[in-house]
Amino acid sequence: MKLRSGKIKEEPKMDVTKEVSAITENMEDNSACTSFHGMEETLRTSTPKGDDIGKLVNVIQLMSQQIEQKIEQQSQETKQKIEQQAQETEQKITEKIDHQSEKLKQIQLSFKEANKQLRKEVEQQIGDQREECNYRANTVLNICDGRWKQLVETQEKVKELSSGVTEIETKIQNTIREIQHVGIRSNTSSGEVFKMSDSIKLIPEFDGQSKVMQPLEFLKFLENAWKNVNITEENKLNITMRKLSGSAKMWADISNTDWNCFENFKQDFMEQYWSQKIQDEVRMKIMGHREYQSRNGNYVDHARYWIKQAMHLNPPMEERQIVNSLSKHYPKEVERALVSAGVKNKKEMLEKLDELYKVDQRRSNPRNQERVNAVEYHTDRGGHRGAYRGRGGGGF
């Protein structure tokens, strides 16, 4: 650059040593980079010497080393922090795993105990049901075997006595006429004869198959007929034969040769129609499940029939036991309704069954909601009004 005097003015020279010192001092902190960029700008605007360039290279190398050391230090610190966090996380995870494992062990132990108890209860129930099934199966087999033997014996006896049926019928008719028109052949007074005649009319017939007349009730009717009346054993037997019909009459015709008195008849009659074996069968039926069939009548008819049977069992059943057992005869919804109602005796049970049956009838026949199955009463030839029957004749 020329001045007015004609001389050229020299450009100021850069002091590289001072710049390097400044850079070296500033390398200890983050301002080193800023100093480096400042020096680079200075070099662009001035001409450095050879020594200055060497120092500059050294500064750059030193700065590079320091940067690498700084990066390495920060990497180590970051690595340590990450490893520490990983260890802490691993420890927490391990603790949680141990805690969950302990819980799992407790659950497994509880499940094992519950499974053991459940298996024990199931095995007990299966054993009880197996015993009950075996008992029922044996009972049924015994019943079938006994009835088959009785049937074979009866058929044999019927064949033997078929030739004398006419004579037996004639003898019975003569006996009936004698009782009806002549009176009882004994030393009985005329007043007692008329009293006996009226009592005989009240005795219902027993056919051995109908479910209406209970065997013990039939015997009670007979014994009440000649209570406090002077009557011979022969006439007792004649009256009894007159009141038998159907299969019972056939049985009596075969067996009457062994009867010398009414007590002989009574013993054989009980063995035939109300033996301990038959009572055990009745008891099993009462304690059975789902015995009710709609074709055999309404709920009340079914209950009354089995209540009457239970009343004559020996040993007798308690009333609460009868009620609880008969509740299981009906469909599940009826059983649940009886249990919910808390029925405790026969009267409450019959009232509730009548109510439930009417509800079922209204549901099944909505056009006639008030119609209920009529209960049919039957009357024997003597004018006696016997126990009533529902649909299907009241058989169960």
User: Which residue range forms the structural domain that includes residue 334?
Assistant: 280-367
The per-residue pLDDT for 168 is 54
Structural domain contains residue 118: no
The per-residue pLDDT for 137 is 81
Structural domain contains residue 119: no
Structural domain contains residue 117: no
Sequence-separated (6 or more) residues with CB below 8 Å from residue 306: 285, 286, 291, 322, 326, 329, 396
Both tokens assigned to 79: 């690595």
* Cα 356 to Cα 361: distance, rounded to the nearest angstrom: 9
The per-residue pLDDT for 370 is 47
**Structural domains in the chain (count):** 3
Structural domain contains residue 289: yes
Name the nearest CA neighbour of 199 among 228, 226, 219. Answer: 226
The per-residue pLDDT for 11 is 46
3-state secondary structure at position 261:
coil
The per-residue pLDDT for 255 is 87
* Cα 100 to Cα 77: distance, rounded to the nearest angstrom: 34
Over residues 264-294, the pLDDT tens digits come to 999 999 999 999 999 999 999 888 887 888 7
The per-residue pLDDT for 388 is 32
* Cα 216 to Cα 278: distance, rounded to the nearest angstrom: 13
* Cα 393 to Cα 391: distance, rounded to the nearest angstrom: 6
Kindly report the pTM of this predicted structure.
0.44
The last residue of one of the domains, among 220, 246, 274, is 274
The per-residue pLDDT for 196 is 62
For residues 184-199, one letter each, b for 16 or more C-beta atoms within 10 angstroms of the residue's C-beta and e for the rest, the string is beeebeeebbebbeeb
Structural domain contains residue 23: no
The per-residue pLDDT for 374 is 40
Residue keyed to tokens 């020329």: 2
Q: How many CB atoms lie within 10 A of CB 353?
A: 25
φ, ψ of residue 229 to 5 degrees: the values are -125, 135
Residue 212 and residue 161 in one domain: no
Cα first-last separation, the chain: 142
Residue 306 and residue 333 in one domain: yes
Q: Which residues of the chain have pLDDT under 70?
A: 1-52, 158-198, 365-396
* Cα 306 to Cα 394: distance, rounded to the nearest angstrom: 12
Structural domain contains residue 182: no
The per-residue pLDDT for 33 is 53
Over residues 221-247, the pLDDT tens digits come to 999 888 877 889 999 999 999 999 999
Structural domain contains residue 247: yes
Structural domain contains residue 224: yes
Question: What helix, strand, coil percent values describe the chain, rounded to 5?
Answer: 75, 0, 25
